[in-house]
Structure 1
Amino acid sequence: MALTNTHKSDLLLVCVTLLAAISWMFSKEAVLLMPPVMFMAFRFLIAGATLAIVAIPSLQRLSSEQLRRSFMVGLVFGIAMSFWIKGLYYGEHLGEGAFLTSLGVVLVPIVDRLVFRQPQPWSTWAAIPIAVGGLACLSLENGFRTEIGQIYYVLAASIFALFFLMNTRAANSRCVTLPDGSTKALGPVPALPLSAITLLTVGLVALAESALTEPWHDTLPNLSWTLSGWVLASAIIGTAGRFFLQTYAQSLSNHSHGVVIMVLEPVWVAIFAANWFGETMSPTQMIGCGLIFAALLVNRWNTLMRVARKWITKRA
């Protein structure tokens, strides 16, 4: 059976969650050796520049409208990352922070319905509470404590949801209604130049914030080969590769409910951390992983039933 673009998008988003989880390992190693916002600036600028070099011909063909839309996607993403960094700085409990940040993916269908008036299938609404329960089991084993850092995480998660939607809409052709009542077709922004502009914009936002708030003179003279290696690995593999693949996957399907697949990211993080840093998973966290997988199955219930019916028909 040939894969549809939606199925290809789903499979690519699974790969995106793997790259994102691997990037957590690289990032954790790097921020132990340099200020976090400076790391974010270097990471995104290197990643964006790498993609921009490859994308020079397609960048030159972009219209002013496509450039504006790409910049807006990057600006929203940069603001979300800035809130996330503040949550990381002020927060005292990383488990709660990881839980709240991951809720950004769960919020995507809700924000799509409220902001863009896009209908969502029943399976998505059914999957959301299961995914929230799984994330809670995975990250909140020691309870939830309200603090200022959590407010920043919630703001970041909400803006991440908006970023996912804007990225999907920028990567797909669509029609918009003008003030005079007429409609205008907007062509899609190709995945490669869209990714390059988005990452460069995030890098510039982080660079400005780092220059204002962090001690550059204490860090730059002490850059080591080890630190440079972690920064490059995070930039090339965990950022350039990941976000290009994510944007391409989102360009294959304009349905936002597919992004729910990205709740797999904290599952992979937990598994990789167990092997990388020798961390262990409790029974509660294992239940959380199971609930997240169950949410993904529910989210794609109609597709699974169609595949099952075709398989049964062929076997009969």
Structure 2
Amino acid sequence: MGGAPERRDSLTATLLLLAVTAVWGSTFAMTKDVVAEVPVMDFLGVRFLLAAVVVAVLFPRSLRGLTGATLRRGVVLGLLYGVAQVAQTVGLQHTAASVSGFVTGMYVVCTPLLAALLLRERLPAVTWAAVPLAAVGIAVLSLRGVALGFGEGITLVGAVLYALHIVALGAWSTPAEAVRISVVQLAVIAVLGLAFGAPGGITLPSSTGVWLQVVYMAVFAAGLALAAQTWAQAHLPPTRAAIIMCTEPVFASLFGILIGGESLTGRLLVGGSIVLAAMLLAEAGPRRHVESEVPHLTV
């Protein structure tokens, strides 16, 4: 009897997560502009602090009844995501952006492995087929050379942490707790960024244009996006969520063409088509009740 509402919620969650990923893809050019003026850790700290404040102000009632379990889970999730951001940023300073994009995208491979290990999640064969297909698509989109060193290693650590975040978020999130747990995550990430940036002093944007970009990325690509992701993952198993989110480089390339004046290339057409095929393949897989797909971890 509950099949139709569950399918509707699953479809809504898929579309919402796809929209979130599109917003993330729109921020690549903006991030370049901002970090040219503001140190990376200062930017992350200010961005996520603004995001936490905005979400708390927009949803004040949701903060009532914050339980110890939600607080603990939010702190763990915030640390996972925040340290992943730091690892990705440090790695990017020691490797090419294309290689960083590919290695970071390996969270789509790590997610099902971690879900199987930590959650005892049994994935249908079609999902196992979609995972390597998505990895191939990401490689076509971003990889222009192969190198192994400190930069690639620390970036891979970040990818594993992103995968852990996706798995834990899928295990702990519920629709009722989505905003509460999101605010805690955002606050933890802000503290982490500000703590890393504090020794050299926090640098703020000096121009209106850069401030507007920071505000956009704080409100839409951090605060509302994380709240939406948290709600969506209450209705989707982690591996499906990871495959949907691996469309981010596709959206980044599309925004680069539409806004940044970049050219449409064969690499984008082929790689983007492969990633989208992987997403559709994962969505075509068999459906079971989300509670049976995503067992909840006890924390």
Same fold (TM over 0.5): yes
- Structure 1 Cα separation of the partners of residues 194 and 78 of structure 2: 14
- 1:236 match: 219
* More moved, 57-66 vs 195-204: 57-66
- 2:290 match: none
Task: Determine helix, strand or coil for the equivalent of 1:38.
Answer: helix
Matched residue pairs, number? 283
- Structure 2 Cα separation of the partners of residues 200 and 162 of structure 1: 19
256, 281, 285: which one aligns with 1:298: 281
| Structure 1 counterpart of 2:212, one-letter code | G
Task: Determine helix, strand or coil for the equivalent of 1:143.
Answer: coil
- Structure 1 Cα separation of the partners of residues 250 and 237 of structure 2: 25
| Structure 2 counterpart of 1:42, one-letter code | V
- Structure 2 Cα separation of the partners of residues 272 and 299 of structure 1: 25
2:192 is aligned with 1:205: yes
- Structure 2 Cα separation of the partners of residues 11 and 104 of structure 1: 20
- 2:162 match: 160
- Structure 1 Cα separation of the partners of residues 82 and 238 of structure 2: 23
- Structure 1 Cα separation of the partners of residues 242 and 8 of structure 2: 16
- Percent identity at matched positions? 28
Asked if the contact 1:273–1:279 (Cα under 8 Å) also holds between the matched residues in 2, the reply is: yes
Asked if the contact 1:127–1:295 (Cα under 8 Å) also holds between the matched residues in 2, the reply is: yes
- Structure 2 Cα separation of the partners of residues 64 and 189 of structure 1: 15
* More moved, 283-292 vs 153-162: 283-292
TM-score by length of 1: 0.84
- Structure 1 Cα separation of the partners of residues 275 and 252 of structure 2: 13
122, 137, 143: which one aligns with 1:134: 137
The structure number with the bigger radius of gyration is: 1
- Structure 1 Cα separation of the partners of residues 267 and 57 of structure 2: 46
Q: CA RMSD in A?
A: 2.0
- Structure 2 Cα separation of the partners of residues 105 and 45 of structure 1: 28
- Structure 2 Cα separation of the partners of residues 299 and 256 of structure 1: 9
Quote how far apart the aligned CAs of 1:280 are: 2.3
Q: 1:257-276 to 2 correspondence within 5 Å?
A: 257-276=240-259
Asked if the contact 1:55–1:196 (Cα under 8 Å) also holds between the matched residues in 2, the reply is: no
- Structure 2 Cα separation of the partners of residues 302 and 86 of structure 1: 37
- Structure 1 Cα separation of the partners of residues 123 and 226 of structure 2: 24
| Structure 1 counterpart of 2:90, one-letter code | K
2:67 is aligned with 1:63: yes
| Structure 2 counterpart of 1:243, one-letter code | L
Quote how far apart the aligned CAs of 1:145 are: 2.0
Task: Determine helix, strand or coil for the equivalent of 2:123.
Answer: coil
- Structure 2 Cα separation of the partners of residues 147 and 255 of structure 1: 29
Task: Determine helix, strand or coil for the equivalent of 1:98.
Answer: helix
Asked if the contact 2:90–2:151 (Cα under 8 Å) also holds between the matched residues in 1, the reply is: yes
Task: Determine helix, strand or coil for the equivalent of 1:252.
Answer: coil
Task: Determine helix, strand or coil for the equivalent of 1:4.
Answer: helix
| Structure 1 counterpart of 2:94, one-letter code | Y
Quote how far apart the aligned CAs of 1:285 are: 3.0
| Structure 1 counterpart of 2:108, one-letter code | V
- Structure 1 Cα separation of the partners of residues 155 and 190 of structure 2: 20
- 1:311 match: none
Q: How has the CA–CA distance of structure 1 residues 43 and 255 changed in structure 2, closer, same or farther, with 3 Å as cutoff?
A: closer
Quote how far apart the aligned CAs of 1:258 are: 3.4
154, 168, 171: which one aligns with 1:169: 171
Q: Which runs of 5+ in 1 are unaligned?
A: 173-187, 305-316
TM-score by length of 2: 0.88
82, 88, 94: which one aligns with 1:90: 94
2:18 is aligned with 1:14: yes
- Structure 2 Cα separation of the partners of residues 54 and 272 of structure 1: 28
